[in-house]
Amino acid sequence: MTTIACIGECMIELTEGANNGLSRGYGGDTLNTAIYLSRLGAKVDYITALGDDPFSDEMIAGWRSEGVGTERVVRIAGKLPGLYAIRTSEAGERSFYYWRESAAARMLLDLPETGALLDALASYDLIYLSGITLSLYGEAGRSRLVAALARAHAGKTRVAFDTNFRARGWPVLEIARNAYRDVLDVADIALASVDDLSPLYGAQPSVDTMDRLATGEIVLKLSEPACIVRASGTDVRIAARPVANVVDTTAAGDSFSAAYLAARLEGAAPVEAAQAGHRLAGAVVGYRGAIIPRDAMPLDILPGETPTERS
């Protein structure tokens, strides 16, 4: 079975509901993708650092219940996960507020266990990380990570990079651009969006944005409900089906990435994989929070899938 490593951070999630009430869960871009990958039948491990607190225990238990491997999660005594709150507008657009400066995940590349974790990346068929992943670490940590990705990529391992850019994580844009360039140099698949990359590179035509990414396979999500897929030198625009009731766009991109990668790993063509991404994202935006209820997962996401084929 194909194995996937997702690298990043999971935080405690507070979601605002009716009458300003808050519900507590957890989420993070690469963790969201890992869970949706697992629900789509992939074998996936999550690589991060957590504390030794009850919230971290709850996360570990929750990930295991979703089938996500936790053997490579490092626990750090005295540390805590990060925290974020979501406020959602009437149109379903969300705003995030973070408390994460001293989170355990930021220490992942500066621990006694770091060398073994990075060496283990070469044992996976696919490594998935994001721009938010890169923003967690300092320059030295990023250099170690990129070197490990390059070693893994030199073997059988493919690398998928979601450009997910958040300006608050990058006080100096040139540092972000250099970090993105370094990872894209070893990436096989780039998953991007115009809305994310405009603050990084400035507004520009979609083709110019894709040229900047310079990988063999690129998915660029547009401002409207559509994406452009570039593979084998050809660009194809794929529109998403209209969604009647958008409740919360949290994790729309993360779930798209999960379905796209799951479909590609099963042999689907890039255009078919993008259609799968649109189908799952269209379902996810109909629910509040990053992770929708398990029983709300559509059973016809992957190409050729029928309701009786996924457990």
The catalytic residue positions are 254
β-pairing, 83-88 vs 11-16, is parallel
Residue 62 host element (H or E): helix 54-65
d(CA 248, CA 285): 5
In 3D space, the residue among 57, 66, 59, 70 whose CA is nearest the CA of residue 28 turns out to be 59
d(CA 3, CA 158): 11
Collapsing DSSP states into helix, strand and coil, what is residue 9?
coil
**Token code pair at residue 9:** 């951070």
Could you give the angle at which helices 173-184 and 139-153 cross, rounded to 10 degrees?
10
β-pairing, 158-162 vs 189-193, is parallel
